[in-house]
Amino acid sequence: MFDILDDRFRTCVLTNAPLVKLGEGFAWLEGPVWFADHECLLVSDLPNDRIMRWTESSGLSVFRQPSGFANGHTRDRQGRLIGCSHRNRWIERTEIDGRVTVLADRYQGKRLNAPNDVVCKSDGTIWFSDPHYGINTDYEGGKQRAELPSALYRFNPDDGSLRVVADDFVGPNGLAFSPDERLLYVAESGPQFAPDPVRHIRVFDILDGGERLSLGSVFHSVSPGFADGFRVDVDGNVWTGAGDGVHCIAPDGTKLGRIAVPFTVSNLTFGGRNRSRLFICASHTLFAIYTNQRGAERP
Ligand code: MG
């Protein structure tokens, strides 16, 4: 079940830990986020237009339906749920009282495409990708016309400003900061139906305290499959979904190893006590496995 390609991977995994199936029968899972304070996982069942909730004691239940074809999730510095909606073409925040606030739905008067994945920086700013995938098909939110090119955005909830931080993408997808927030990793995949699509993770230097990004370079090319969503551990390793499981990539770009998963992995997150349990969205099935690493404090 484990491919150890580099000795550094031996200390990251527990080779006696089983890959446990937590649930199946979904359409396509995405956007997992861990709530340590509630000991629960929220995860999008995207084409079924719902968000599921999982706990160790009571298993899976529907958290929200319809979800606006929710995709990526994270939490802000106050612990509130931040989500991407394909159908509504916006970024939203679920308040402590349960109301949903739309944070960003337009840029320079034009509608966003289909926000895909989102992370929060320690300064409270919210960074998200806005490719076209989610409005290309009825399956993932409904065919709609794109008004903007694919781009990566930074939203500042203090003043409501939205700015493009990078726009030279075929299709930006998952994203995560390095633990010291000096780097931003962004998966790029597409064009969706091309015979030889882009399938790499790029890395950008964060400049001027987050006001600018460097031009970015290819950090790692994922094969087989795509890098969709990923997370970073406390040592800066990148754990990404791929066509044959979870790949672990060192900060120097070396692939350290793989956890084999029987279905394509779209997305994952660290959670559980100690943030050492990896929750894995594998097509229609949700898996978990204990690791010997801990997810970075800010997912
Ligand atoms: Mg994604």
Q: What is the pLDDT of residues 3-37, one digit of tens each?
A: 999 999 999 999 999 999 999 999 999 999 999 99
What does the pLDDT read at residue 189?
A: 86
Residue whose tokens read 């931080």: 165
Do the beta carbons of residue 51 and residue 61 sit within 8 Å? no
Give the total number of structural domains in the chain. 1
CA 174 / ligand 1 centre spacing (Å): 5
CA 71 / ligand 1 centre spacing (Å): 7
Cα–Cα distance, 31 to 69 (Å, whole number): 11
DSSP 8-state assignment for residue 225:
S
* CA nearest neighbour of 228 among 103, 64, 46, 76: 46
In a domain, 192, yes or no: yes
pLDDT at 298 over 70: no
CATH code for position 196: 2.120.10.30
Residues 11/17/18/19 CA torsion (nearest 10 deg): -40
In a domain, 136, yes or no: yes
In a domain, 295, yes or no: no
Structural domain range at position 200: 2-290
In a domain, 298, yes or no: no
Cα–Cα distance, 291 to 36 (Å, whole number): 17
In a domain, 275, yes or no: yes
In a domain, 212, yes or no: yes
Q: Note the pTM of the prediction, 2 decimals.
A: 0.96
What does the pLDDT read at residue 90?
A: 98
- Report phi then psi at 6, rounded to 5: -145, 140
In a domain, 297, yes or no: no
CA–CA distances in Å: residue 203 to residues 106, 145, 249: 26, 30, 13
The encoded tokens of residue 209 equal: 């305290």
CA 30 / ligand 1 centre spacing (Å): 7
Q: What share of the chain in percent tops pLDDT 70?
A: 99
